[in-house]
C-alpha cells in the first residue's frame, strides 16, 4: 500500500490503516459518469478504492462541460464515450486503482453481468428507470447502493442497505408521470449542487467501504444551495411492508423485464433520442463507415461513428448497435432514421 499517498486520509482516525486496507480491497460500480458520477468516481479513485467500474452510455458533449468535472473540450471534440474519457483521466490521478470502463446502457438485459462482483453501487444517473433497475438488483443480491439526484440548485441522496433501511421503491413507489417533476431540461442545473450531492455520496461510500457503517447519515438528505437549506428527512418509518421489491413479494419487475423491440428514450435536455436494439448485435464499424458516408459527413473513432445527416440531424452509432440521434426528441422519427440507415 502506498502509505505516503494516503497519509492524510489514514491519519483521519475513523479510517486509519485498517480502513485504508479495506478501501484497497473494495470493489465499486459507478452507474452513470455524468455530473454526479464524475465527482463520485474522482473521490473513490483518489481515496484508493481498489476497483472502480464506470458504466455510462453517452459520449462527452459540449453541454456537459459546465458541470461534468472530469471532461475537457478535447474529449468533446474527439467524441469520446464518457466511460473511456473518465477512465483515462482517473487513471492519470491514481495508477494503483483498477478502473474498468464500460460504454454501455445499463438495462435488464445486462444488469446481472455489469453489476456482478461489486460490493457497492453508487448512482450517478439522471434516470428513474435505471434507479429502479439498480434497486431491484441491489435488493435481490444484498448489495448496498447510494442514490443521488440533482436539479436546479437542489439535490437529494439516500443510502440503501438491503434488509436494513427502506429501499428506493419504498420511498419513491412510482416513476413520476412525464412532466410532473423538474428535470435538468426544465429547471437547469448549477455545478456546485452536483459537487455537494456527489461528495455526500462519496462520503457515504467511504464510510461503508472502510467499515464505518454506524457513521452513515441514515436519512433522505435534501439540500437547496440557492436558499441555503439543509434538510435531513427521517426514513426510519419509511420501509413499506407492501413494497414489491424489499417486502415479502420480492418482485423485481425492472430486472426481470423482457424487452424485445428497440427501446427509444428522449434524453433530458439534449434534443436527442437514445436507441437501444432489442437484440444483441456486434457491428463492424469499419465496414459500416463506408456505407454510411453516403448519408452525410462522417467522423469515427475506435468506439463510434458519427454522421452529420443532410436534415441537420446527427446520427451517432456504437458498435453494440446503440445509437444517439441528435436534433429530434421524437422517438418515432429517431426509430425510422435508425431503420433507414441500418436497414433493421
Ligand atoms: Zn422497499
The more confident residue out of 187 and 45 is 45
Query: Does 229 share its domain with 267?
Result: no
Final residue belonging to a domain, choices 214, 234, 254: 234
* Phi, psi (rounded to 5 degrees) for 101: -95, 125
* Phi, psi (rounded to 5 degrees) for 59: -105, 160
Indicate whether 73 belongs to any domain.
yes
pLDDT score of 175: 77
Q: What is the pLDDT of residues 92-107, one digit of tens each?
A: 999 999 999 999 989 8
What CATH number corresponds to the domain at position 316? 3.30.310.10
Query: Does 141 share its domain with 59?
Result: yes
Query: Does 325 share its domain with 210?
Result: no
Query: Does 217 share its domain with 323?
Result: no
The whole-chain average pLDDT of the chain stands at 92
160 alpha carbon to ligand 1 midpoint, in Å?
10
133 alpha carbon to ligand 1 midpoint, in Å?
13
Report whether 136 contacts 253 (CB < 8 A).
yes
53 alpha carbon to ligand 1 midpoint, in Å?
26
* Phi, psi (rounded to 5 degrees) for 118: -120, 155
Report whether 99 contacts 52 (CB < 8 A).
yes
281 alpha carbon to ligand 1 midpoint, in Å?
35
Place of cell 437547496: 224
Q: CA geometry: angle at 108 spanning 102 and 112, to 5°?
A: 65
Indicate whether 239 belongs to any domain.
no
Report whether 252 contacts 245 (CB < 8 A).
yes
Q: CA quadruple 323, 324, 325, 330: dihedral positive or negative?
A: positive
Q: What is the pLDDT of residues 279-301, one digit of tens each?
A: 777 888 888 888 888 888 999 99
39 alpha carbon to ligand 1 midpoint, in Å?
27
Q: How confident is the model at residue 341 (pLDDT cuts 50, 70, 90)?
A: confident
Residue 1 pLDDT exceeds 90:
no
Query: Does 39 share its domain with 154?
Result: yes
216 alpha carbon to ligand 1 midpoint, in Å?
19
165 alpha carbon to ligand 1 midpoint, in Å?
8
Residue 262 pLDDT exceeds 70:
no
| pLDDT (average), residues 145-171 | 97
49 alpha carbon to ligand 1 midpoint, in Å?
28
Final residue belonging to a domain, choices 186, 213, 234: 234
- Interaxial angle between packed helices 191-209 and 16-25, expressed in degrees from 0 to 180 and rounded to the nearest 10: 100
- Interaxial angle between packed helices 82-93 and 35-47, expressed in degrees from 0 to 180 and rounded to the nearest 10: 30
Indicate whether 309 belongs to any domain.
yes
Indicate whether 30 belongs to any domain.
yes
The percent of residues in the chain predicted with pLDDT above 90, rounded, is 71
Indicate whether 114 belongs to any domain.
yes
Indicate whether 246 belongs to any domain.
no
pLDDT score of 174: 85
- Print the domain residue range for 287: 263-342
Q: Are strands 120-123 and 145-151 parallel, antiparallel or unpaired?
A: parallel
Report whether 282 contacts 332 (CB < 8 A).
no
163 alpha carbon to ligand 1 midpoint, in Å?
9
pLDDT score of 180: 63
| pLDDT (average), residues 163-178 | 88
Place of cell 473513490: 44
Query: Does 209 share its domain with 170?
Result: yes
26 alpha carbon to ligand 1 midpoint, in Å?
26
Query: Does 143 share its domain with 200?
Result: yes
248 alpha carbon to ligand 1 midpoint, in Å?
10
What CATH number corresponds to the domain at position 67? 3.40.50.720
69 alpha carbon to ligand 1 midpoint, in Å?
33
Report the alpha-carbon distance of residue 316 to residue 82 in Å, rounded. Answer: 14
Q: CA quadruple 18, 24, 30, 33: dihedral positive or negative?
A: positive
Helix (H/G/I), strand (E/B), else coil: 284: coil
205 alpha carbon to ligand 1 midpoint, in Å?
21
Q: How confident is the model at residue 178 (pLDDT cuts 50, 70, 90)?
A: low
Residue 259 pLDDT exceeds 70:
no
| pLDDT (average), residues 155-165 | 97
Report the alpha-carbon distance of residue 70 to residue 79 in Å, rounded. Answer: 15
Report the alpha-carbon distance of residue 324 to residue 317 in Å, rounded. Answer: 7
* Phi, psi (rounded to 5 degrees) for 24: -65, -30
Place of cell 464510510: 207
171 alpha carbon to ligand 1 midpoint, in Å?
7
Q: How confident is the model at residue 179 (pLDDT cuts 50, 70, 90)?
A: low
CA atoms within 13 A on the CB side of 82: 29
Q: Which three cell numbers stand for residue 141?
A: 443480491
Q: What is the pLDDT of residues 217-226, one digit of tens each?
A: 999 999 999 9
Query: Does 215 share its domain with 278?
Result: no
| pLDDT (average), residues 149-161 | 96
Burial label for 190, CB within 10 Å (0-12, 13-18, 19+), is middle
247 alpha carbon to ligand 1 midpoint, in Å?
6
122 alpha carbon to ligand 1 midpoint, in Å?
18
Indicate whether 227 belongs to any domain.
yes
pLDDT score of 263: 67
Query: Does 200 share its domain with 267?
Result: no
pLDDT score of 240: 95
Query: Does 326 share its domain with 214?
Result: no
Q: Can you list the alpha helix ranges (DSSP code H) found in 119-225?
A: 128-141, 168-171, 184-187, 191-209
Domain count, the chain: 2
User: What does each C-alpha distance from 71 to 35, 47, 88, 316 come to in angstroms?
Assistant: 10, 20, 10, 19
Indicate whether 249 belongs to any domain.
no
Query: Does 154 share its domain with 274?
Result: no
168 alpha carbon to ligand 1 midpoint, in Å?
6
201 alpha carbon to ligand 1 midpoint, in Å?
20
CA atoms within 13 A on the CB side of 132: 21
Report the alpha-carbon distance of residue 302 to residue 286 in Å, rounded. Answer: 9
262 alpha carbon to ligand 1 midpoint, in Å?
30
Residue 265 pLDDT exceeds 90:
no
255 alpha carbon to ligand 1 midpoint, in Å?
15
Nearest to 66 by CA among 186, 197, 184: 184
Query: Does 150 share its domain with 222?
Result: yes
Q: What is the pLDDT of residues 30-69, one digit of tens each?
A: 999 999 999 999 999 999 999 999 999 999 999 999 999 9
Amino acid at each position: 500500500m502506498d502509505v505516503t499517498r494516503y497519509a492524510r486520509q489514514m491519519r483521519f482516525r475513523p479510517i486509519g490503516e485498517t480502513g485504508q486496507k479495506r478501501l484497497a480491497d473494495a470493489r465499486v460500480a459507478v452507474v452513470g459518469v455524468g455530473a454526479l458520477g464524475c465527482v463520485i468516481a474522482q473521490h473513490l479513485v483518489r481515496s484508493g478504492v481498489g476497483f472502480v467500474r464506470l458504466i455510462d452510455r453517452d459520449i462527452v458533449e459540449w453541454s456537459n462541460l459546465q458541470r461534468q468535472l472530469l471532461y475537457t473540450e478535447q474529449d468533446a471534440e474527439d467524441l469520446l464515450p464518457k466511460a473511456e474519457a473518465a477512465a483515462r483521466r482517473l487513471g492519470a490521478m491514481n495508477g494503483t486503482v483498477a478502473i474498468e470502463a464500460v460504454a454501455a446502457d445499463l438495462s435488464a438485459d445486462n444488469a446481472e453481468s455489469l453489476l456482478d462482483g461489486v460490493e457497492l453501487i453508487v448512482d450517478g444517473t439522471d434516470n428513474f428507470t435505471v434507479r429502479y433497475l439498480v434497486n431491484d438488483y441491489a435488493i435481490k443480491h444484498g448489495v448496498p447502493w447510494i442514490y443521488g439526484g440533482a436539479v436546479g440548485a437542489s439535490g437529494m441522496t439516500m443510502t440503501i442497505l438491503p434488509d436494513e433501511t427502506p429501499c428506493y421503491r419504498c420511498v419513491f413507489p412510482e416513476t413520476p408521470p412525464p412532466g410532473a417533476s423538474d428535470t435538468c431540461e426544465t429547471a437547469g442545473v448549477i455545478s456546485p449542487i452536483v459537487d455537494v450531492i456527489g461528495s455526500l455520496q462519496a462520503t457515504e461510500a467511504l464510510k461503508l467501504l472502510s467499515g464505518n457503517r454506524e457513521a452513515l447519515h441514515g436519512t433522505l438528505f435534501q439540500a437547496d444551495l440557492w436558499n441555503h437549506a439543509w434538510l435531513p428527512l427521517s426514513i426510519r418509518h419509511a420501509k413499506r411492508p407492501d413494497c414489491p421489491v424489499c417486502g415479502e413479494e420480492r418482485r423485481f419487475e425492472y430486472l426481470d423485464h423482457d424487452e424485445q423491440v428497440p427501446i427509444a428514450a428522449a434524453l433530458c435536455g439534449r434534443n436527442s433520442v437514445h436507441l437501444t436494439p432489442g437484440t444483441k448485435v456486434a457491428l463492424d464499424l469499419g465496414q459500416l463507415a463506408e456505407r454510411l458516408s453516403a448519408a452525410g459527413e462522417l467522423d469515427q473513432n475506435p468506439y463510434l461513428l458519427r454522421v452529420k445527416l443532410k436534415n441537420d440531424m446527427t446520427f451517432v452509432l456504437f458498435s453494440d448497435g446503440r445509437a444517439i440521434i441528435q436534433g429530434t426528441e421524437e422517438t418515432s422519427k429517431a426509430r425510422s432514421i435508425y431503420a433507414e440507415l441500418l436497414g433493421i
